Structures are given as C-alpha cells and as structure tokens.
Amino acid sequence: MPHNTPTLPLDPAIVEIDRRWKASGIPDLYEGGNGPVSRERARNVRALLYPKPQLPEGRIESRTIPGPTGDMAVRVVYPLSGDTTGTLVYFHGGGWVLGDLESHEAHAIRLANRAGVVVLNVDYRLAPEHPFPAAVDDAETAMQWASQHLNELGGQGKPLAVGGDSAGGNLAAVAALYCRDHGIALACQLLLYPATNLSGRGGPEKSYLGENAETKAQDPRASPLKATTLKGLAPTILGVGVHDFLYQDNLAYAAALKAAGVPLLMRVHGDLNHGFFSYTDVSPASAAAADQLCDDLRQHLHA
C-alpha cells in the first residue's frame, strides 16, 4: 500500500537521542538475549535519554485481575475529566521482553486525558521466561475480563477499544482478532507502529517465539497478517513513522486491512521513527503525533 507522506529528515531531537546513546557506549536494548539484564538496561536508557513526561493525572488504581495462570497485575488509569468516552485495554511495547506498567504509564495517562478513555494497562508476561503464547493468552484474557467489567472501567454501554505500541501493538491486533472471533464488541483498535508479521525476523522476536520460531511466526496469534481473513475486524487507527524499521510491515498490514474492508485511519509521520510515543518529553514532533492519535481515538469513540 503506497503512502504519499514525504520522507523528511529524522526529527533532530531523535537524532540527538541516537547520538547520545552511541556516545554512552550502552549496548542495544536486546543485546545478549537476557530478559532481566535487558529490562534493567532499558530502565537506565529511558531515564538517561527519554524520560517519561510529567503529565497531569487523574485517579490511578493498581489492582489484579484473574489471568490464565494466576493473578495478573493491571493499572486502571482514569482521565482528569469525569466524563469518559469508553474503555481502552492497552498493551505496552518492548519487544515482548521489556516494558511494564511503569514504563508505559505516561502513554496511558496521555490516552486517558486526551481521548477521555479509562485505560486498562496490562502487565502481561514477558519472554524469554514466558515465551509465546503466554503474552497472547494474557492479552485475550484481559479483553474478556474488560468486556465483562465495563461498569468498573469506562462505563457499561460505552465503547470498548484495544491499543498498544510495537510489540503491544502486535498483541492489540491479535486481541482484535480474538474479539471478532469470540463475539466481543470492539469499537476500535489503536495500533501504534505494530509488529504484524514476525516471519523472518530476529532479535527479540526469537526470544519471544522460542524454539521453532519461524514455524510459530506463521500462527496468526503471533503474526496477525497471517490470519485467514481480516474481514470483520474493528475499525483501525494506525500510526507509524517513515523512519520506522516496521514501516513497510505497517504499510502491508494497512493494505490487508483495506482489502478486507476494515475502516482504516492511517497516520504516517515523515520525520519520526519507531517508538515516538515514548519520546514525547524530548521531541515536540513526537508529542504532536501522539496527541493527534489520541484525538483520533476520541473522535472515533464519540462518533
């Protein structure tokens, strides 16, 4: 699916992040394939190079919900204003290896405040300790729970949406397939630079999929692009930067959605790369893109 967004130079604020990272000598987040080491490294990199923005916040509740193998931690983030547009179940990014409720809390707060949704931020199990399909099982369970407890979240009778960034966008897209196939009414899927085809990929994908990774990558629960059909999926908002290593992946998924007749709003940003929702404190262009996607979600749920 071609897109007419011009390729601009990468946002200078993000170029500076890359420069400082290289100068620091800190390895790539996933180098070594050790989950706990990578998570600690990621926390240090975020604090040093792109700290989370300090946003005004409404009520935030830490709680647990029943998971496939025991209690699953979640964080319920309410908007500052009392009125809500609905509920958003959110899955954080981090290559299925990194990330947690804390690392992506600002994502949830921005979405809650700007889109007016109550966000259920889900602490799904991470690889390599818990390889595929553990995260998917958690995501599907969270969708089922949210659909049955809307009165505790954004309100019974108000829309239910799903969203996520990167690996979390992958889980959101898989969860949207689950909702379609299990009769869960889903108003929207908000996909922020999602990974939709894990075939032929290395790095964290191998940690996530484990043994026989290429075979597992053919499973639609790992690669939603591999689904027999995408027809009947919830309307989709997809945001990606031209400089993102998943840009072509996202164009392919967008084309497949359109071919299946799924309503699609695609936001392509010519000066941004992967992970821009995390750079909002240091990159005004990233903040503007993130706010636009939140506004898109609000308008869709209000429609």
**Alpha-carbon distance 147 to 187, whole Å?**
12
Take residue 166 and report the two structure tokens written for it: 């990167």
* Contact (CB, 8 A) for 190 and 237: yes
Take residue 251 and report the two structure tokens written for it: 């164009």
**Alpha-carbon distance 30 to 25, whole Å?**
14
Report, as residue numbers or ranges, the catalytic residues: 166, 244, 274
Q: How many CB atoms lie within 10 A of CB 199?
A: 15
Question: What's the burial of 278, exposed, middle or buried (CB within 10 Å: 0-12/13-18/19+)?
Answer: buried
Helix (H) or strand (E) holding 216: helix 213-216
Nearest alpha-carbon partner for 197 in 174, 164, 177? 174
The DSSP symbol for 9 reads P
Residue type, position 166, single letter:
S
Specify the length of the chain in residues. 303
* Contact (CB, 8 A) for 220 and 175: no
Positive or negative torsion for Cα 44, 46, 51, 57 = negative
* 187-250-222 Cα angle (round to 5): 75
